[in-house]
């Protein structure tokens, strides 16, 4: 196989492990957030931070070691075969799936509500409510760039792995080129990353609310979690899109140079190749910068600890008085044996 | 400002009934209006840390009373016919509660006062059907 995919593998792995991971961890850990409104809120925020740091360490620091070694072994085992290139192509997506898996575990293990008094906002939370619009658009943009590039390259490619020109007296080919040979695994990997991202965002939207905080604070913490998920997801899709553009650009440049034969040179192909390579580089840099940008802080302005309606102060968000006995509203007749007429076993455990 | 429901697991009133009564109270007070969307059963159960069946039963009771309805596209919403009390009555209730808060009475004391007043005026029937009446 060509040395280029292996080179890309090393570059991407080194870039993420050496530059991005410490930078993101520095940004995340150096921030001193405003005091949380309650102990449960502080515990929830700490849980979210631990999960995020673990996701970066497992996904992008330990991940390269976990993934690079098997891929390196596969490349050496494949010898001059082309399949090592597929491993290099889907490498960022595999790291991204590791990153998202850690986030999913963190959301599934989110602290359950405790205590005798529980509160819930009468709000319908959807994935759109918790997702930061900028990063969502960026993720879809990188995905769109990647899909369009792979489809166009797939249509242009010759044999799935190279691009060719014909001349009256022969032809020339250049590769590796992201034709269908690389494009199909990449599209599958992209679908997996997008599906996993949506799944984790659904977990973020549906996780238990933090008790003793205002709904605005809880929603703000969900948006912080969603930002952290999207930060990693857009990074892997952006790196993949940038790398595909760069590889396609370099192949076109090689084809445009005509193997040193001035009669076979094509300024158009060369210029197109350079433009694609530069665009790929810009996409990679933009994805790296967006991954390192700090998330918006959890809102604290105007958010007070929840005051129960039985207290003298007015609650920040009204909850109807909790009845302790049948009052002005006639209770519906309870049917013995039906769920909900007494705290269930899981509720008692959660107290 | 987001509305909330609050469940006290130590209360003698079952959790599903607390949820039902509080949704009903928000509708009666006009804070929830026809078409307002409620959380999914799973989401509210997760927020409250109770079994999904608890919330499902509260929603079932409310749906039976025509306070809420479930639509295929929008999920569970406040039903079209579920209206709060007359605005002048709502304002009177607000003023009453404000006076009670100013007197630093807690919820139980306020409710005891209302129950006492109701006992002094038995047999009252609302002029028009409301969410409270249908329940």
**pLDDT confidence bin for A131, thresholds 50/70/90:** very high
Answer whether B7 sits within 8 Å of A117, measured CB to CB: yes
Q: What is the DSSP letter of A58?
A: I
**Any bridge partners for residue B6, and if so which?**
A119
What average pLDDT does this structure show over A297-316? 46
pLDDT at A126 over 80: yes
The average pLDDT across A119-140 equals 91
Contacts of A288 (CB under 8 A, 6+ apart): A15, A19, A20, A235, A238
Q: Which residue has the higher pLDDT, A105 or A31?
A: A105
**Closest residue in B to A216 (Cα–Cα):** B2
Q: Token pair for residue B134?
A: 């249908």
What number is the average pLDDT over the span A34-47? 76
First-last CA distance in chain A: 60
Residue A321 touches chain B, beta carbons under 8 Å: yes
Encode pLDDT of B81-120 as tens digits: 777 667 777 778 888 888 888 888 888 888 888 888 888 8
Of the candidates A325, A335, A322, which has an alpha carbon nearest to the alpha carbon of residue A116?
A: A322
Distance from A327 to chain B by nearest Cα, in Å? 7
Q: Number of CB pairs < 8 Å for A and B?
A: 198
Candidate from A316, A327, A350 with C-beta closest to B49: A350
Task: State the burial class of residue A138 (Cβ atoms within 10 Å of its Cβ: 0-12, 13-18, 19+).
Answer: buried
Distance from CA of B83 to the nearest CA of A (A): 16
Main-chain dihedrals φ then ψ at residue A66, nearest 5 degrees: -70, -35
| Confidence check: pLDDT of A18 > 60 | yes
CA atoms within a 13 Å half-sphere pointing along the CA-CB vector of B134: 23
Tell me which residues of chain B have a pLDDT lower than 70. Answer: 1, 84-85, 123-135
**Higher-pLDDT residue of A112, A75:** A112
Q: Do B21 and A331 touch (CB under 8 A)?
A: yes
Q: How far apart are CA A288 and CA B14, in angstroms?
A: 52
Does the beta-carbon distance from A118 to B50 stay under 8 Å?
yes
Work out the pLDDT band at A71, boundaries 50, 70, 90: low
Cβ atoms of B21 and A329 closer than 8 Å: yes
From B106, which residue of chain A is nearest by alpha-carbon distance?
A: A310
Please check the confidence at residue A148 and state whether its pLDDT lies above 60: yes
Distance CA A25, CA A41 (A): 22
What pLDDT sits at residue A8? 59
Considering only CB atoms, A351 lies closest to which of B9, B101, B108, namely: B9
pLDDT-derived band of residue A302, with 50, 70 and 90 as boundaries?
A: very low
Give the C-alpha separation, A270 to A275, whole Å: 9
Distance from CA of A298 to the nearest CA of B (A): 17
Query: Could you tell me the pLDDT band of residue A278, with boundaries at 50, 70 and 90?
Result: very high
Using a CB-CB cut-off of 8 Å, the residues of chain B touching A119 are 4-7, 47-48
Residues A173-209: pLDDT tens digits? 887 899 899 999 999 999 999 999 999 999 999 899 8
Which residues, 6+ apart, have CB-to-CB distance to B123 below 8 Å?
A: none
Entry pTM: 0.74
Measuring CA to CA, which residue among B5, B25, B26 is closest to residue B15? B5
Residues of A within 8 A of B114 (CB-CB) are 327-328
pLDDT bucket at A134, cuts 50 / 70 / 90? very high
User: Cβ separation of B6 and A117 shorter than 8 Å?
Assistant: yes
Option in B14, B106, B108 nearest A341 (CB):
B14
The stretch A156-183 carries a mean pLDDT of: 85
Q: How far is B96 from chain A (nearest CA, A)?
A: 14
Q: How confident is the model at residue A160 (pLDDT cuts 50, 70, 90)?
A: confident
Specify the pLDDT at position B3.
Answer: 85
Assess whether pLDDT exceeds 80 at residue A322.
no
Q: Does ipTM come in above 0.90?
A: no
Look over chain A and give the mean of its residue pLDDT values, rounded to a whole number.
77
**Count of beta carbons in the 10 Å neighbourhood of residue A327:** 19
A341 and chain B in contact, CB less than 8 A: yes
Q: What is the structure's pLDDT at A334?
A: 41
Q: Closest to B5 (Cβ–Cβ): which among A120, A206, A338?
A: A120
DSSP B72-102: TTTEEEE-TT---S-HHHHHHHHHHHHHHHH
- CA dist A187 and A237 (Å) reads 11
**Chain B touched by A344 (CB under 8 Å):** yes
Which residues are CB-neighbours of B64 under 8 A, at least 6 positions away? none
**Which tens digits make up the pLDDT trace of A92-120?**
898 899 999 999 999 999 988 888 888 88
Residue A210: the pLDDT is: 85
Contact A225, A201 (CB under 8 A): no
């Amino acid at each position: 196989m060509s040395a280029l995919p292996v080179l890309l593998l090393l570059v991407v792995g080194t870039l993420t492990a050496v530059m991005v991971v410490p930078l993101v961890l520095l940004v995340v850990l150096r921030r001193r957030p405003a005091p949380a409104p309650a102990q449960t809120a502080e515990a929830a925020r700490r849980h979210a931070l631990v999960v995020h740091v673990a996701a970066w360490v497992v996904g992008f620091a330990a991940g390269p070691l976990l993934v690079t070694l098997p891929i390196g072994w596969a490349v050496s085992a494949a010898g001059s075969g082309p399949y090592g290139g597929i491993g290099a192509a889907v490498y960022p997506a595999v790291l991204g799936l590791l990153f998202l898996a850690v986030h999913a575990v963190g959301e599934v293990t989110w602290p359950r509500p405790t205590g005798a008094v529980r509160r819930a906002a009468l709000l319908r939370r959807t994935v759109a409510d918790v997702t930061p619009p900028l990063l969502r658009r960026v993720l879809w943009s990188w995905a769109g760039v990647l899909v369009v590039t792979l489809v166009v390259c797939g249509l242009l490619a010759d044999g799935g792995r190279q691009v060719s020109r014909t001349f009256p007296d022969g032809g020339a080919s250049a590769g590796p080129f992201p034709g269908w040979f690389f494009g199909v695994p990449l599209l599958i990997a992209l679908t997996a990353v997008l599906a996993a991202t949506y799944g984790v965002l659904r977990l973020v939207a549906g996780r238990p609310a933090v008790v003793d905080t205002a709904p605005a604070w809880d929603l703000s913490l969900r948006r912080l979690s969603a930002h952290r998920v999207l930060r990693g997801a857009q990074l892997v899709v952006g790196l993949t899109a940038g790398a595909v553009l760069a590889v396609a650009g370099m192949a076109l440049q090689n084809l445009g140079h005509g193997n040193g034969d001035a009669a076979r040179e094509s300024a158009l192909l060369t210029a197109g190749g350079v433009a694609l390579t530069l665009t790929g580089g810009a996409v990679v840099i933009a994805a790296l910068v967006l991954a390192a940008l700090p998330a918006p802080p959890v809102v604290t302005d105007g958010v007070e600890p929840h005051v129960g309606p039985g207290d003298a102060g007015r609650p920040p968000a009204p909850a109807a008085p909790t009845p302790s006995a049948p009052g002005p509203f006639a209770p519906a007749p309870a049917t013995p044996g039906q769920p909900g007429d007494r705290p269930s076993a899981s509720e008692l455990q959660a107290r | 400002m987001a509305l909330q429901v609050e469940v006290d697991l130590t209360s003698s009133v079952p959790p599903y009934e607390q949820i039902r009564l509080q949704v009903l109270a928000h509708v009666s007070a006009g804070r929830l209006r026809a078409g307002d969307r409620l959380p999914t059963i799973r989401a509210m159960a997760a927020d409250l840390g109770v079994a999904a069946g608890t919330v499902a039963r509260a929603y079932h009771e409310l749906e039976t009373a025509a306070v809420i309805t479930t639509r295929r596209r929008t999920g569970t919403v406040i039903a079209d016919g579920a209206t709060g009390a007359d605005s002048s009555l709502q304002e009177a209730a607000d003023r009453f509660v404000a006076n009670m808060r100013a007197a630093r009475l807690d919820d139980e004391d306020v409710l005891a006062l209302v129950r006492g007043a109701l006992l002094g005026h038995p047999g009252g029937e609302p002029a028009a059907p409301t969410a409270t009446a249908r329940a």
